[in-house]
Chains A and B, each alone.
Chain A
Amino acid sequence: MVRCFHCHGPLPTGSDLAVELRGQRRPVCCAGCLAVASLIESRGLGSFYSFRSAPAAPPAIGPDEAGNSGMPACDWQVCDRPEVERQLVQALGPGRSELRCRVDGVNCAACAWLIDRGLDDIDGVEEICVNPLSGETLVRFDPARVRPSAILEAIARFGFAPRPVPAGRTDDAATAAATRAELKRLAVAGLGFAQVMTLSAALYLGAVKAMDTHYTSFFVLTSMLIATPVVLYAGAPIFRGAWMDLARGRLGMDVPVALAIAIALGASLVNAFRGAGQVYFDSATMFVFFLTLGRFLESRARHRAGGVLAALAELRPLSATRRHGSGLERVGTVELAPGDCVVVAPGEAVPADGVLVAPQGLFDESLLSGESAGRRRELGDPVLGGSLNLGTAPVEIRVTGLGADSYIARVGSLLQRAMADRPDFLRLADRWAGGFIAAILLLAILAGGVWLRLAPERAFEVVLALLVVTCPCALSLAAPTAFAVALGRLARLGLLLRSARALERLADVDTWIFDKTGTVTEGRLRVQEIELHGSLDRARCLALANALEAGIEHPVARALRTALPSGTRLETATDVEYFPGYGITGTVDGQRYRLGSARHVGYAAERDDSVQRLYLGDDAQLLACFELADTPRPHAASALAMLAAAGRTVALVSGDAQGPVQAAAQRFGVGQAFASQSPADKLALLRTRQQAGHVVAVVGDGINDAPVLAQADVSVALVEGSRLAQAGADIVFTGHDLRIVARLPDWARRTRRIVRQNLGWAALYNLTAVPLAAAGLLAPWMAALGMSLSSLVVVANALRLNRVLALPADGPAEGPAQASRPRVLAEQEVA
C-alpha cells in the first residue's frame, strides 16, 4: 500500500498531492507534508530522506491569511516579549544567549541533522545541539543578531513542534550534575582497572616464575597506590547505599557488594603492609568497574525520558490574547493573572483554567481526558487549560486557575502521588542478599574460631582467603549485567526501559490495560472513503465541504482539509449557518449546500453502524458521503490477540464515550471495555485490580493516562503521546507496531532465566569454594582467580541476552527507532 513519502501516513483516496524530490515524484498525504518536503528539497537537504530511520511526524497545518491551504501555522512573536523572553532565554554572557526547547517530532538522528542544518544558515546562531532521542535542543545565539522567535519559527517550518522550556530549571540541573559525577566515577574506575590489571599481570607471572622480591613489593605498592583511591572514589555511592541500608535495618543489595569490596580491598591492604600473602587489587578494581558500568547504564536509562516537572511545564500554550482596556494584546501565558480575560481563537489552546464568559463554546479535551468528541460548555461553566477551541468563533474566558490550581497541575500531583504509592516489589537478587550475608559472616567467624584453636599461625591467612572466596561478586553482578545488556538490546527494538524492576515484573503480569485514542488507534481522523451519490465529482465535493468547514478546527474539519489537494484555492461560502451538533449550511457559487449529519442533509437511509459519516448535499439531493475513521495502529488487533492467547486478561479503558469505545472493543476483539473514564477513574480501576492480587501492565499515551501509568506494576507509554505520560512510565515505546510490546512478557521471562542462571552459578561457585577455603586447601592465588573468573562468567552469560532477546522470523520487523544506527536506504528512497 502506498503511503505518504514524508510521514508514512495513509494517502486519502483520490489524492494526487506529490512532491518533486531529486527529479522523482513522491506522493504525500497532506498540504503540511508537501510544504515541509518542498522546503527540505529547496534547501538542498534531501539526504534527510535517505538517512532517516523513522517516518516524520505529521506537521501541523492551517490556512494562511491568503486562504491558501498548506502553510505551517505558527506564531512565535510572543517569545520576543521581554517577560516571556526572560523566562525562556538564558544569557550566558555578552552576545551569547541560550534557548532550550523540546522539539516534538524528532524521532531519529536524521531529524536532528535536519534541524541542525536548517538553523545553520541563520545569521547569529552559533551553536545548535539536538538530541535525537529526547528531542531536546539547545541553541546558542547572539541576541543582537537574531530573535528567539526566528529560531523557533525556523524549526517549525521543517514540520517539527518546538516547545520552549523555561531556562534554568532545577531538576534538569541536578540530573546533569548527577550524570557528570557518574561519568567521572566510571572513567576513574575504568582507567584504574586497566592500570592495576597490567601490574597484576606482572605479579601473576612473577608467581609462576620466581621474581625478585624488590619487584614484587614494588608492583604491590604501586597497585595499592592506584587501586585504593580508585576503589574508594568509584565505590563511594555503593558504600553510602550500604550504610543507609544498614541504618534502616535492611540488608539490601548494596550491603553484600560493599562488604565484598571492603573485604577485597582490606585483605589486600593488610597483606601489602605485612609484606606477605596474596593481594587482590585487580579483583577489587574489576569488580568496582563492572558495577559502576552497570549502574551508569541504568541511570542513563532512567533519566532519558525526562522528569515530571519538565513535562508539566510544557503543557501550557506559550501565548494568549488578553483583553487590555478596550483592545486586545498578545502576551505570554506566564504574564497572565487570575481575573484576566483572554480571548481564545478557533483552534487555539486555552491558556489556563477559567470560566466561560461567552454564551457557549465547544472544546476539544482529548489530550486531557481522552474524549474524542468535543465538549460543550455554557456561560459560567469551567473551561480547562490546555483544551482546544473547536468552535467557529473566538470565545472569551476569565482566568481563574493558574499554576498549582489548574487541572493539569492536579493531574501532575495525582501522578506524583501515584509514583510514590507504587506497589513495591522485591527484586530477585535482593531477596537472596540478606540471608547470604548472614551466612558468610557466620561461616567466617566459625572457621576463624576453629583455626585459632588448631593452628593459630595460619588462622589469619585462612580467614582472609575464606572471606575473599565467599565474596559475593558474581551474586552482585548477576542482575545488573543482565539488565544492562537487555537495556541495550531492547532499545534497538524501540523499547526504552527506564527501570530494571519493570523488566523483571513483566514476567508476572497477568492483566493488560490499554488506552484507546492514540494507543490502539493513531489518534488522527482521516477521510477513508468518499461515496459519490450525485453528479459532482470527488474533487468538487471536497472543495465544497472545505468551503463550508473553513475556519473550523474540529478534527473532522482537519480531516477534510488534509484530504484536499494542495494549492487548491479555497472556495468561499457565504451566508453560512451553523447548527451545533447537526451541521453547516452555506452558499457557494449561488448554490445552497448542506454538510453534516444525515438528518441535516435530509438523507433518510442512514446505515446504523459505528462508522462516523459526514454527508454533503444540496437542496435537491445527496451529493457525497465522507467516511471518517480514526486510523487503527498497524497490527494492534493481532498484538492484543497475542496477549489474550497467552492467557492474559486484556481490557480497553478510555476517557472516550461509550459508542466509540464499544466499536473499538469489537474491532480489536477485546473482551472488557470501560468508557468515559477520568484519570481518577482509571486509577481506581487499576487499584481495584491490584488489590485483588493481579499484576497489571498499562499501555497509554495521554495526559489522562499519566497517573495510571505511574501506579501500574509495569507501564508502557508511546513516544507520540504526551510527555507527562512518558515521565510516569517504565518503558517508552518508540515504534509503531504494538506486537513488539506484546512480546515483552516473553522477553522478560528470558531475561529472568539468565539472571537465575547467573545467581545459580554464583551460588555454585561459592558453595564449592567455601569448604575448600575453610579447610585451608585453597591457595590464595586460586581465591583471587576464582573471584575474577566468576565475575567474568556472569558477564559473559549476560551478554547472551543479545541473541536471546530476538524477534521471531515471522513477526514484526526490527524496531524502526534505531537512533543508534541510521539505515542508509540508498536504493529505495533516493534513486
Chain B
Amino acid sequence: MSMLFVLIPLAIALLAFAVWAFFWAVRAGQFDDLDTPALRILLDEQRTPHD
C-alpha cells in the first residue's frame, strides 16, 4: 500500500503533462474550430474519380 506514495505523485506528474499538452494544443490553434471536425468525419468518403 505504501506504493501509493509513489503512484499518486506519478499521477500528478501525468496530470501536469496533460495540462501542458492541452495548453500547447490550444496555442497551436487546434481548438479554434470546434464545430467542423465532428462533421468532417461523417462526410469524408470516397470521391468519385474525375478528370
Q: Which residues of A contact B (CB under 8 A)?
A: 42-47, 51, 109-110, 112-113, 116-117, 121, 129-133, 176, 179-180, 183-184, 187-188, 191-192, 195, 199, 215, 218-219, 222, 225-226, 300, 819-820, 822
Q: How far is the CB of A678 from chain B (nearest CB, A)?
A: 37
Closest 5 CB pairs of A and B: A44-B48, A109-B39, A113-B43, A44-B50, A187-B22
In Å, the complex CA distance between A51 and B5 comes to 54
Q: Which residue of B lies closest to A198 (CB)?
A: B11
Residue pair B31, A51 in contact (C-beta under 8 Å): no
Q: Which residues of B contact A131 (CB under 8 A)?
A: 33, 35-36
- Name 6 extra pairs, CB < 8 A, besides A226-B12, A300-B34: A131-B33, A187-B19, A191-B22, A195-B15, A819-B35, A822-B39
- Most central of B1, B8, B51 by chain A CB within 10 Å: B8
Q: Which residues of A contact B31 (CB under 8 A)?
A: 180, 183
8 contacts between A and B (CB under 8 A): A51-B42, A113-B40, A132-B39, A187-B22, A191-B15, A195-B15, A222-B12, A226-B15
Residue pair B43, A51 in contact (C-beta under 8 Å): yes
In Å, the complex CA distance between A434 and B28 comes to 42
Main secondary structure, interface of A, reads helix
In Å, the complex CA distance between A822 and B5 comes to 50
- Most central of A45, A187, A225 by chain B CB within 10 Å: A187
Residue pair A215, B22 in contact (C-beta under 8 Å): no
Q: Which residue of B lies closest to A114 (CB)?
A: B43
Residue pair B19, A188 in contact (C-beta under 8 Å): yes
Beta-carbon contacts of B12-51 to A below 8 Å, as 1s and 0s?
A: 1001001100110011000111111011101101011111
Q: Which residues of A contact B49 (CB under 8 A)?
A: 44
Q: Which residues of A contact B12 (CB under 8 A)?
A: 195, 222, 225-226
Residue pair B42, A822 in contact (C-beta under 8 Å): yes
Q: Which residues of B contact A110 (CB under 8 A)?
A: 43
Residue pair A183, B26 in contact (C-beta under 8 Å): yes
Q: Which residues of A contact B22 (CB under 8 A)?
A: 184, 187, 191
In Å, the complex CA distance between A499 and B1 comes to 51
Q: Which residues of A contact B47 (CB under 8 A)?
A: 44-45, 117
Q: Which residue of A lies closest to B42 (CB)?
A: A822
In Å, the complex CA distance between A218 and B9 comes to 10
Q: Which residue of A lies closest to B22 (CB)?
A: A187
Residue pair A820, B35 in contact (C-beta under 8 Å): yes
Residue pair B15, A112 in contact (C-beta under 8 Å): no
Residue pair B19, A191 in contact (C-beta under 8 Å): yes
> Contact size class for B?
20 to 34
Q: Which residues of B contact A133 (CB under 8 A)?
A: 35
Q: How far is the CB of B7 from chain A (nearest CB, A)?
A: 11
In Å, the complex CA distance between A113 and B38 comes to 12
Residue pair A222, B43 in contact (C-beta under 8 Å): no
In Å, the complex CA distance between A219 and B45 comes to 50
Residue pair A129, B33 in contact (C-beta under 8 Å): yes
In Å, the complex CA distance between A187 and B20 comes to 10
Q: Which residues of B contact A183 (CB under 8 A)?
A: 26, 31
Q: How far is the CB of A670 from chain B (nearest CB, A)?
A: 37
Residue pair B36, A176 in contact (C-beta under 8 Å): no
Q: How far is the CB of B32 from chain A (nearest CB, A)?
A: 7
Q: Which residues of A contact B5 (CB under 8 A)?
A: 218
Q: Which residue of A lies closest to B11 (CB)?
A: A195
In Å, the complex CA distance between A278 and B39 comes to 47
In Å, the complex CA distance between A742 and B27 comes to 42
Q: Which residues of B contact A822 (CB under 8 A)?
A: 39, 42-43
Residue pair B23, A130 in contact (C-beta under 8 Å): no
Q: How far is the CB of B18 from chain A (nearest CB, A)?
A: 6
In Å, the complex CA distance between A43 and B51 comes to 8
Are A43 and B50 also in contact (CB < 8 A) when A131-B33, A195-B11, A195-B12 are? yes
Q: Which residues of A contact B42 (CB under 8 A)?
A: 51, 109, 822
Q: Which residues of A contact B48 (CB under 8 A)?
A: 44, 46
- Contact among B8, B18, B36, B45 for A191, CB-based, below 8 A: B18
Q: Which residues of B contact A130 (CB under 8 A)?
A: 36
Q: Which residues of A contact B27 (CB under 8 A)?
A: 180
Q: Which residue of A lies closest to B9 (CB)?
A: A222
Residue pair A47, B36 in contact (C-beta under 8 Å): no
Q: Which residue of A lies closest to B38 (CB)?
A: A820
In Å, the complex CA distance between A195 and B18 comes to 12
Q: Which residues of B contact A132 (CB under 8 A)?
A: 35-36, 39
Q: Which residue of A lies closest to B15 (CB)?
A: A195
Q: Which residues of B contact A188 (CB under 8 A)?
A: 19
- Contact among B9, B32, B36 for A109, CB-based, below 8 A: B36
In Å, the complex CA distance between A116 and B44 comes to 11
Q: Which residues of A contact B23 (CB under 8 A)?
A: 184, 187
In Å, the complex CA distance between A199 and B27 comes to 30
Q: Which residues of A contact B4 (CB under 8 A)?
A: 215, 218
In Å, the complex CA distance between A219 and B42 comes to 44
Q: Which residue of B lies closest to A211 (CB)?
A: B1
Q: Which residues of B contact A179 (CB under 8 A)?
A: 32
In Å, the complex CA distance between A230 and B15 comes to 12
Residue pair A218, B36 in contact (C-beta under 8 Å): no
Q: Which residues of A contact B38 (CB under 8 A)?
A: 820
Q: Which residue of B lies closest to A133 (CB)?
A: B35
In Å, the complex CA distance between A109 and B37 comes to 10
Q: How far is the CB of A599 from chain B (nearest CB, A)?
A: 55
Q: Which residues of A contact B36 (CB under 8 A)?
A: 109, 112, 129-132
Are A109 and B26 also in contact (CB < 8 A) when A132-B35, A215-B4, A225-B12 are? no
Residue pair B43, A180 in contact (C-beta under 8 Å): no
Q: Which residue of A lies closest to B43 (CB)?
A: A113
In Å, the complex CA distance between A47 and B4 comes to 55
In Å, the complex CA distance between A226 and B47 comes to 49
In Å, the complex CA distance between A225 and B13 comes to 12
Q: Which residues of A contact B40 (CB under 8 A)?
A: 109, 113, 116
Q: Which residues of B contact A176 (CB under 8 A)?
A: 32
- Most central of B1, B32, B38, B43 by chain A CB within 10 Å: B43
Q: How far is the CB of A713 from chain B (nearest CB, A)?
A: 29
Q: How far is the CB of B6 from chain A (nearest CB, A)?
A: 11
- Most central of B1, B27, B35 by chain A CB within 10 Å: B35
In Å, the complex CA distance between A820 and B42 comes to 11
Q: Which residues of B contact A219 (CB under 8 A)?
A: 8
In Å, the complex CA distance between A713 and B46 comes to 49
Q: Which residue of B lies closest to A195 (CB)?
A: B15
Q: Which residues of B contact A129 (CB under 8 A)?
A: 33, 36
In Å, the complex CA distance between A44 and B40 comes to 17
In Å, the complex CA distance between A487 and B11 comes to 36
In Å, the complex CA distance between A199 and B33 comes to 34
In Å, the complex CA distance between A130 and B1 comes to 53
Are A112 and B39 also in contact (CB < 8 A) when A184-B23, A188-B19 are? yes
Q: Which residues of A contact B34 (CB under 8 A)?
A: 300
In Å, the complex CA distance between A43 and B50 comes to 7
Q: Which residues of B contact A300 (CB under 8 A)?
A: 34
Q: Which residues of B contact A820 (CB under 8 A)?
A: 35, 38-39
In Å, the complex CA distance between A361 and B9 comes to 79
Q: Which residues of A contact B39 (CB under 8 A)?
A: 109, 112-113, 132, 819-820, 822
Q: Which residue of A lies closest to B47 (CB)?
A: A44
In Å, the complex CA distance between A615 and B12 comes to 81
Q: Which residues of A contact B33 (CB under 8 A)?
A: 129, 131
In Å, the complex CA distance between A225 and B15 comes to 12
